[in-house]
Structure 1
Amino acid sequence: MFASHILEFFTPPMKPHRDSISRSVRYCAATLLTFCMSICYAADYRVENLDHSIKVDSAGKRVVRVDLAIKLMTDAAIARFGQYAVSYNSQLQKLDIDRAETLHEDGSRVPVDFRGGMFDRPTPVTISAPQFSNEHLRLVTFPALSKGDTIRLAYTLTDVETLFPGKFSVQFAFPPIEEYGSANITLDTPADMPVAIDARGVKATADSTGNGRRIRSYHYETPASGIADEQTNTVAWTDIGPSFIASNFTGYADIASAYNARAYDKLGASDAVLALADRLTAGVDDRREQAKRLYAWVARNIRYVGVYFGAGPVVPHRAEDVLANRYGDCKDQVTLLSALLAAKGIDSDGVLVNLGNHYRLPDAPDVLTFNHVVAWLPEFGAFVDTTAGVLPFGVLPFEASDKPALNAKTGKILHTPPQNGANSTSSVAYAVDIGQDGNGTLTGDISLDGQAGLHARQMFTHLPPKRVADTMLRTFGLAGDLQLSSRGLDDLDAPLSIDMRGKIDQVSLMPGPAAVSVPLLPNFGAIRSFADYVLQQRNKPFDGTCSGTRLEERYRITLPGSVEVLAIPPNVDVRAGEIAYRSTYLRTGQTVDVTRVLERKLASNVCGSAKLAEWADAATAISTDLKRQILYR
């Protein structure tokens, strides 16, 4: 966990982006307008008015006043916004609700009952990534709501303390898929305080200085062309949409210095840390192997728990305390790993990244972009992240890859590698013997290496194999029985192998004449998903994310001896830019061997419409190939 879960971060309501078990949410953002549930879309509501003023004193403390009005046009919007949540930290901030009411279309008002209609509760957390903090939600329940009504809410957040002495950051995004009648931002700072501002797609309306203060104002409203179409996969709106970011950090090196000032003294190696480092590396002279062993121990033995009180979101615990407790968040785990490495004379630096969909550092040095810490080992040119618990040495989760990375020790901006075939591969091999009844006997082997194995490793670590098998059958819409077993689960640097045995009902129609497609069988990454994604997203206006895993699929399909095989599909070989796909079909008697390989030598996790358009013809050819059938009678 890093600072962004406490500091002000405005993101209006939108649909959640991609999520999976591999993305055990280890960070969160304090939002003013919180995420919509999946049943609520931008067309269901309109932000009629949003006035947001931030007054900063010389110590970097802020008084934030928000006045907003949201028109609710559907039952889905009422279900979402009828109980509105304001996030705050009860130790670092004071929250006052100044006004809350329902405004009917006829102009009448119904005020919120401040005693019986507002409730405080701790911010929800996940069991897989527990947190203990002073983060709270103030829930405001609006009465007598009907379609067409407007909720009006005004509140004030006052900083009691700052996370970084003398520093502030604010970040706003206005997703173009949402409608704004009028949104205004006012930033009031000491006149002698240098402030960096990155304002994109918003209009500066005033800038005045007087009485020792400088006041800047900005305005945004949805353009006359209207809102953009919904898009489920986008990078962060602050990367591509209208946004306002301001801070008084002098540069990203200043952010690094502020973080390191509170983290550096936690790295001291106690006798227990030194003894553990010696024990884990006993008999090993190779320095990279030493680093791998220390990394693997922390990844396997320090469970993720976040404890955030006071400045806890940005201050790690001491290495010896993390070792004694056997738990900690990202920065705690980096601290312990760095202490273990230092005990063996191996240099490492804490590096701040975004674990999410932010791929751009704003021009204004923005601490809120960072919400995760990983370790950088310059001797080996490797970034490592122990918090996933199951990744090989030198491999990051997808959400942390292809990201600007701020070295907290040096202040330099590094860059994590993108996901591609160099760090993520999936190979599946299936044999399906189809019986006279059309059911199939299945044997298979799945090999997953690098990032591609994250989801599967977490599933097999936390769930019994039978539960994993049942989940996979259900996910792929298959009926039958499946048994799974894994190999290499405890060896993080070896590919994860999964043995598969079972029966799949109704693989084909028997007797013929008929045709059978190569069935989509349980896996952790399919070529079909790539083709579908490209064809669905190619005309979308905003940049999204795309996986670069190398995928290889092999099938051996055997038909009953009573069947005559009439035709098999032709081979395919297509290339477009960074991608290449080839498939081969070979018949030997009643058996057809199918091999399909998708290579993606991607230089970035971000895919824009131009890139997808370049791939579109190849994706169409892939999609067509995947639908081709083996004809028999």
Structure 2
Amino acid sequence: MSSRGALPRRAVAACLIFCCALSAAHAEDSANVEDIPPSTLESDVHLFIVQKDGSVEERDDSILRANTTSGVDDIAQRYVWFNRDIEQIQLLTAETIGRDGVARPVGPEGIRDVQEPRSAGAPTFQDGVLRTVIFPGVEPGVRVHLVFGKKRTKPLQAGTFSYFVEPTREPVEFQQLIFDLPSDVPLHADARGYVALDPVTENGRTRYTFEYRHGPYVPTESGAVGYVTWGDRLMISTTQDYAAFAERYRSPALDPTVNDPAIVELARSLTAQTDDPRTKAQLLYDWMRFNVRYVALFLGETAAVPHRATDILRNRYGDCKDYVALYGALLAAVGIRSEAVLLNLGPIYTLPSVPGYGASAINHAILWMPDLALYADASAGGTAFGYLPPGVMDRPVLLVNEGVLSRTPAVQPRARSARLQFDVGTDGNAAYTYRVEDSGSTAEPERNMFRRSTRARAQQIAAERLRQTGLHGTAQVRTGDLSATQGPYTSTIQGTVEHFAWPDGTTALPALTSLSGGIATQVLAWLAEPVRTQPYVCIGGDFDETAQITLPASVRVTDIPRDTAVHDASFDYASHYVYDPVSRTLQITRQLHAAFLHQMCSPEEFAAARAALIRIERDAFSQVIVKATGG
């Protein structure tokens, strides 16, 4: 279970992919280790005692079993997240249960508090703490038993309670989630895969119980969207609908400092050179992303009320809701209307039918400017004004002022033009020049990556792109204008490639038109799975690539690929090959137009497009055959 309660180590570090079949045998007794999931949740009983004001007491009792050596890493260290300003850990006991059934308690030396690392040292965000439990003697076949109690004396939002649960993708033998509320406080639920038992009412309180069991999960396919988009999930909330949820966010977020003279003076000074509202909004957006440090805590993990705009301006840091608060105040100072927008940041393309905070529910805030018809995520430092990062595209969103659900744009312009030249010497080595121009949504992320890189890191990026293409040699990058914040971005890589053509015998030269990141890379990503059963991310774009390979007189061309044209519902692709025997130059052009109406494609769409993609892949990875004329 993923929540703000007890977290296994993988939930803090990374999500593991589990195998398809479950075996009851231990890892050391099995001949086929791959069929055994690394760990299993044997039991988990999690009780929430909720009061009318939204305060809550949690009690959790869980047992995890390590099935393999990898599973030992999963369960040997667990975390209980709490907000030290409003929550207390009242009880925590832990023990390792050996294969012989003997329990070994975790001593005080194995329990410690660790500052939530995402606070990045920001003083106003140091309320998030991880109580870390390190279990001794964990090995395959061993269980870890954790019991904790946590009491929240002050709700994140007054008078409300919500809780989001998603499977952590280890097999679950038994899980029970119990929500105990006053009888006059209704509970709303969106349950998929979690079975609701009949509520029980007595002594003025009602208990709602949900049970969950699941065998081994199918592996997550490459490029698939987040599991809860299509898999099991449970959202519990005392707020009946999104309109009410928006009101509960909106009222506490009212800030008496939005018209502070310092904010007004800053906004007007930054925009003094223009009367155009869009240009003003862009100037303020760029100032925000370059001058206010982003603290990457999800909305709802700490208090859901933004800090005051004057404090954010003074401290020069904030989380997503603080970015919205300060950027909105700056916009208001120059007469531009805006409102907060709540959504999920991540590979999740749906929201539960009932509102609440959660890692795969509402966890992020951006801003909507109705007069400009634009969304803006100023906390995304590498995204240009007028564009959105992929993690918030094509998502359902809650407009806070209007209290209605809307959706961010599904597509935005994206283009890439590449020019690649190889001059092959008689020794088979080649000098090359590679020039790339990115435009649209990918230009500023590329520019920002180099903007924030040291010179050494920039050269390392160039070397990585050469190596990822399968070539060996040198690479020196020349960056474009890094002071710009809009428009196309161009960079150039130059160097040499070893053994591009062998000076004797026959060589199959790669018919490249781009280093890593071009058409070939895109097609590989789309074809990462031979068959898809899960929805996957599909982002289109326009790619225009040209390569020129000049060969020495010591080799002759024996075979070049044929021109290819592929037309599909989502793809238009064409390639053209021309060899001039006088100048001994081969020119290759490739163009790809990929268009999707959304950012999440279905397995059926993949099946329909797969044949076309395979034809494009075959051409993008084609070869030119040359043979040495002597020796």
Name the TM-score, length of structure 1 as normaliser: 0.88
Letter in 2 for 1:530: Q
Q: Is the 8 A contact 2:39 2:64 kept in 1?
A: yes
Structure 1: give runs of 5+ residues left out of the alignment.
1-9, 13-28
Q: 1:11 aligns with which of 2, 17, 27?
A: 2
**What is the CA–CA distance in structure 2 between the aligned matches of 1:306 and 1:253, rounded to whole Å?**
27
* Deviation, structure 1 residue 41: 4.9
Q: Which residue does the alignment assign to 2:446?
A: 456
Letter in 2 for 1:341: L
Contact between 1:476 and 1:520, CA under 8 Å: does it hold in 2?
Answer: no
Shift of 1:38: 6.5
Q: 1:434 to 1:485 in 2, by over 3 A?
A: same
Corresponding residue of 2:62? 68
> Does 2:556 correspond to 1:564?
yes
**What does 1:134-283 correspond to in 2, within 5 Å?**
134-174=127-167, 177-222=169-214, 226-265=216-255, 268-283=258-273
Partner of 1:77: 71
Match of 2:26 in 1: none
1:169 corresponds to which letter in structure 2? S
Is contact 1:465-1:483 (8 Å) kept? no
Report SS of the residue matched to 1:228: coil
In structure 2, how many angstroms separate the alpha carbons of the residues matched to 1:309 and 1:617?
Answer: 42
**Which ranges of structure 2 fall in alignment gaps of 5 or more residues?**
19-36
- Aligned residues of 2:39 and 2:75 also touching (Cα < 8 A): no
Contact 1:351 1:375 in 2 (8 A): yes
The yes-or-no answer on 1:346 pairing with 2:336 is yes
Aligned to 2:492: 499
Residues 376-403 of structure 1 deviation map (CA, whole Å, 9 limit, x = unaligned): 1112211112222232211111111111
Question: Is the Cα–Cα contact under 8 Å of residues 39 and 76 in structure 1 kept in the other structure?
Answer: no
Distance 1:211 1:553 in 2: 73
Which residue in the other structure is 1:526 paired with?
518
Describe the shift of the 1:404–1:88 C-alpha distance in structure 2 as closer, same or farther (beyond 3 A): same
In the alignment, structure 1 residue 370 sits paired with structure 2 residue 370: no
Paired residue for 2:398? 406
| Number of the residue aligned with 2:7 | 32
In the TM superposition, residue 131 of structure 1 has moved relative to its aligned partner by 8.1
Task: Give 2:568's aligned residue.
Answer: 576
Task: Give the match's secondary structure for 2:546.
Answer: strand
| One-letter identity of the residue aligned with 1:83 | Q
**Cα shift at 1:609:** 1.6
For residues 172 and 375 of structure 2, the distance between their equivalents in structure 1, rounded to whole angstroms, comes to 41
- Residue 340 of structure 2 aligns to a residue whose secondary structure is strand
Partner residue of 1:118? 111
Letter in 1 for 2:593: E
Matched, 1:474 2:464: yes
Which AA in structure 2 matches 1:622? I
Asked if the contact 1:465/1:484 (under 8 Å) is kept, the reply is: no
Q: Which residue is equivalent to 1:297? A: 287
Give the C-alpha shift of residue 413 in structure 1: 1.4
- Establish whether residue 436 from structure 1 lines up as the match of residue 426 from structure 2: yes
- In structure 2, relative to structure 1, the CA distance for the partners of 1:439 and 1:298 (3 Å cut) is same
The structure-2 alpha-carbon separation of the partners of 1:606 and 1:126, relative to structure 1 and needing over 3 Å to count, comes to: farther
Q: Secondary structure at the match of 2:254?
A: helix
Q: 1:630 aligns with which of 619, 624, 627?
A: 624
Which deviates more, 541-550 or 136-145?
A: 541-550
Bigger drift between 191-200 and 559-568 goes to: 559-568
Tell me, what secondary structure is at the counterpart of 1:492? coil
Query: Does the 8 Å contact 1:353/1:372 carry over to 2?
Result: yes
Contact 1:446 1:498 in 2 (8 A): yes
Name the structure 2 match of 1:490.
483
Quote the residue 1:586 is aligned against: 578
Partner of residue 382, structure 2: 390
User: What is the deviation of 1:429?
Assistant: 1.4
Determine if contact 1:125/1:131 at 8 Å carries over to the other structure.
no
Contact 1:444 1:499 in 2 (8 A): yes
Cα distance 1:308–1:246, how it changes in 2: closer, same or farther (>3 A)?
closer
1:227-273 Cα shifts (integer Å, max 9, x gaps): 32343543333322122111011211222212221223256232232
Give the deviation of 1:313 after TM superposition: 4.0
Provide closer, same or farther for how the CA distance between residues 178 and 609 of structure 1 changes in structure 2, counting only shifts above 3 A.
farther
Structure 1 residue aligned with 2:23: none
After superposition, what is the alpha-carbon deviation per residue over 1:256-307, rounded to whole angstroms, capped at 9, x for unaligned?
2122212232562322322233222224232222222222222222232469
**Aligned partners of 1:119, 1:386: CA distance in 2, in Å?**
36
CA distance 1:117–1:232, change in 2 (3 Å):
farther
1:87 equivalent in alignment to 2:94: no
| 2:579 is equivalent to residue 617 of structure 1 | no
Q: CA 1:379–1:561 in structure 2 vs 1: closer, same or farther (change >3 Å)? A: farther
Structure 1 pair 131–234 and aligned structure 2 pair: CA distance change class (3 A): farther
SS of the residue aligned with 1:603?
Answer: coil
- 2:581 counterpart of 1:606: no
Residue 101 of structure 1: SS of its match in structure 2? strand
Q: 1:147-172 CA distances to partner (integer Å, 9 max, x unpaired)?
A: 11111111112112111101111111
Match of 1:425 in 2: 415
Amino acid at match of 2:258: G
Q: 1:39-54, aligned counterparts within 5 Å? A: 41-42=17-18, 43-54=37-48
SS at match of 2:156: coil
Distance 1:74 1:307, change over 3 A: closer
Please say which of residues 281-290 and 56-65 is displaced more in the overlay. Answer: 281-290
SS of equivalent to 1:181: strand
Between the aligned partners of 2:122 and 2:529, the Cα distance in structure 1 is 32
| Matched-pair contact (CA < 8 Å) for 2:437–2:488 | yes
1:329 equivalenced with 2:323 (yes/no): no
Shift of 1:311: 9.4
Identity %: 29
Distance 1:335 1:41, change over 3 A: closer
Pair 1:39–1:87, CA change in 2 (3 A): closer
Cα distance in 2 for partners of 1:129, 1:487 equals: 33
Over the residues paired in the alignment, what is the CA RMSD in angstroms? 2.7
